[in-house]
Structures are given as C-alpha cells and as structure tokens.
Amino acid sequence: LTLRLRLFISILQLDYSPASDRIVSDDRSMFRALSRADAKTAIEVWRGKVDNAVRHMAGLLGRRRFDQELWTQLTRSLG
C-alpha cells in the first residue's frame, strides 16, 4: 500500500479484520495467476481486491466524520 493510504487507514482506525478471509483469498488467487504467468487473471483479481477494499473503506467512512482540509495538510508533502 502507498504511504498515503496506510496513513489514511491508520488515522481513521479502519478495521479490515472482517475482510481478512477475502483479502487472503484474493492474495492467493493473484499469486496462483502470477505463478502461471497469467497476467490477465492477476490483473482482474488485483482490481477486484482494490474494488472490495474501497467499498469496505467507504462503508466504514460513511459512519465517520472526515476533515478533508486536515488530511490535505497532513499529506501535502507525500506527493
């Protein structure tokens, strides 16, 4: 994960433990595809994994307050 995303998850104390089984399953599927040099499948699994992570994050954030201005100040130097 990028430093900015890790910071975001840490600051908001997002809990990905309910999604851990899915994350591990996606990782294994991606590794199998890469081991077979199957880039197409690996990319599809990666995109699905990212989509699921964003949905999970959006669901959690929908119930929390987020200060966009503070976030911008904290991450401005991260590029």
DSSP string, 17-42: GGGHHHHHHHHHHHHHHHHTT-HHHH
Residue with tokens 């994050």: 57
| The pair of three-digit structure tokens given for residue 52, joined into one six-digit string | 């699921």
> pLDDT per residue over 17-29, tens digit each?
888 898 899 999 9
Amino acid at position 51, single letter: D
What is the domain partition of the chain in residue ranges? 3-78
Average pLDDT over the chain, rounded to whole?
Answer: 84
Instruction: Tell me the range of 6-15, 20-29, 33-42, 47-56 where mean pLDDT is highest.
Output: 33-42
| The pair of three-digit structure tokens given for residue 50, joined into one six-digit string | 């990212």
